[in-house]
Amino acid sequence: MVVALFAGCGGAPTVWAPADAVDPWPMFRREPRHGGDARDRGRLTWEVAWQVELDERVDASPIVVAGGVVVATRKGTVVLLDPTTGDERARMALGGDVWATPAAARGVIVLGMRRGGAGELIGLDARRLGVRWRRGVASGGFGAATVDGGAVRACNGEALVSVDAGDGRERARWPLGARCFGAPAIDGETIYVASRAGELRAYDRARGVERWRAVTSAGVANDSGPVVADGVVMIGSNDGHMYGFGTDGAPRWRVGDGDWTVSSPAIAAGLAVFGDDGDVVRAVRITDGTEVWRGEVGGDVASSAVVVGEHVVHGAHDGKVHAWRLRDGEPREAIDAGGKMFASPAVTAEGMVVIATHAGRVVAIR
């Protein structure tokens, strides 16, 4: 059935091209491999540029489109903020629960919303936040979305789905047998997705057939999303480790102290940098998992980091935004954001880091 759905999409898939010319940060961690590398955006002076109080909890990571910074709250409010000043440009109240990070493709912001036990996929105009389309789905459980040409792929309940950003039409669906929450990663002609059954699966992007599956810890959830770099697929597990697999599914390495690892690793200069619920951030070599440095944080680190200039930046449950020098882990003084952070930062075209907190504050750091 999946093969037939893909065949109906018009043959070979669209090859990914960077969307920076239109949308500076259109999805979780910028691009479909989800490495979070923004070294090209320049260095940070490390000072707060602006902050906005939304007064509604935010778990979804911000994204940045041509029209500004997009933030979605747990009460279903979506706001569009000026990336330079934080001034509000548009607002839409959807009346549901938005937990997962949306994605923008071809002028449409696609997000999943829970309403009671059911769910709804919604497409919003990326400049004015007007509703383009709405489509009900059986499950209200969504994962962060990934852009793939004119399609958006995301976990929904116990399946990975692909929808057309323009009209919400479902293009394909892969049953996974377990819930999944992390954003699927796309590298070349392969899609990688992790599930709460402790599995990592690889699918042929054009035909939709499964290429392989690997197990981290059977039955132990993988709530983070996979990241692909240098021929290695990395996935964090609630068994307290980060795993590295070859792109053929062969196990490469495992690192961790046994504390939940929900954050996805940031990738730059041959290093993977990630945090865990043991209040630790560590950098390991992508090739073999060897630890290069680690830092201590005052709370759980579920926020997935990004790399800006020469620093790795992330939020934490201690309510602070942390930055570490990429090459050696030298810390900068943490910035108080006023609330716990699950969200990953986004980076504007001008190189400003934007992150949102559980308390509903949006903070921009230049």
Per-residue confidence (pLDDT) for residue 117, from 0 to 100? 80
Q: Please say if the pLDDT value at position 19 is more than 50.
A: no
**Average pLDDT of the segment spanning 283-312:** 97
Q: Please say if the pLDDT value at position 13 is more than 80.
A: no
Q: Please say if the pLDDT value at position 4 is more than 80.
A: no
Helices assigned H by DSSP within 183-285: none
CB 65 within 8 A of CB 48: no
Q: How far is residue 47 CA from its own chain's centroid?
A: 24
Q: Please say if the pLDDT value at position 3 is more than 60.
A: no
**Average pLDDT of the segment spanning 88-105:** 96
Q: Give the sheet arrangement for strand 306-308, strand by strand.
A: 37-38, 306-308, 311-315, 320-325, 335-336
CA distance 262 to 240: 9
CA distance 324 to 314: 9
Q: What value, to the nearest 5°, has the Cα angle with vertex 280 and ends 71 and 39?
A: 55
78: tokens are 């979506």
Q: What value, to the nearest 5°, has the Cα angle with vertex 229 and ends 331 and 34?
A: 70
Q: Please say if the pLDDT value at position 264 is more than 70.
A: yes
CATH number at residue 260: 2.130.10.10
Say which residue the tokens 């951030």 belong to. Answer: 281
DSSP secondary structure letter of residue 189: T
Among 128, 119, 117, which Cα is nearest to 98's? 119
Q: Please say if the pLDDT value at position 344 is more than 70.
A: yes
**Average pLDDT of the segment spanning 114-136:** 94
Report phi then psi at 289, rounded to 5.
80, 5
Q: How confident is the model at residue 259 (pLDDT cuts 50, 70, 90)?
A: very high
- How many domains does the chain fold into? 1
Q: Please say if the pLDDT value at position 195 is more than 60.
A: yes
Say which residue the tokens 């009671």 belong to. Answer: 116
Q: Please say if the pLDDT value at position 15 is more than 60.
A: no
Beta pairing class for 37-38 and 306-308: parallel
Q: Please say if the pLDDT value at position 8 is more than 70.
A: no
pLDDT digits (tens, 9 = 90+) for 317-343: 999 999 999 999 999 999 999 999 999
**Domain housing 33:** 2-365
Per-residue confidence (pLDDT) for residue 139, from 0 to 100? 84
Per-residue confidence (pLDDT) for residue 22, from 0 to 100? 87
What is the 3 state secondary structure string of 215-272? ECCCCCCCCCCCEEECCEEEEEECCCEEEEEECCCCEEEEECCCCCCCCCCEEECCEE
| DSSP bridge partners of 65 | 68
CB 192 within 8 A of CB 147: no
* Mean pLDDT, the chain, integer: 93
User: Model-level pTM?
Assistant: 0.93
Q: Please say if the pLDDT value at position 14 is more than 70.
A: no
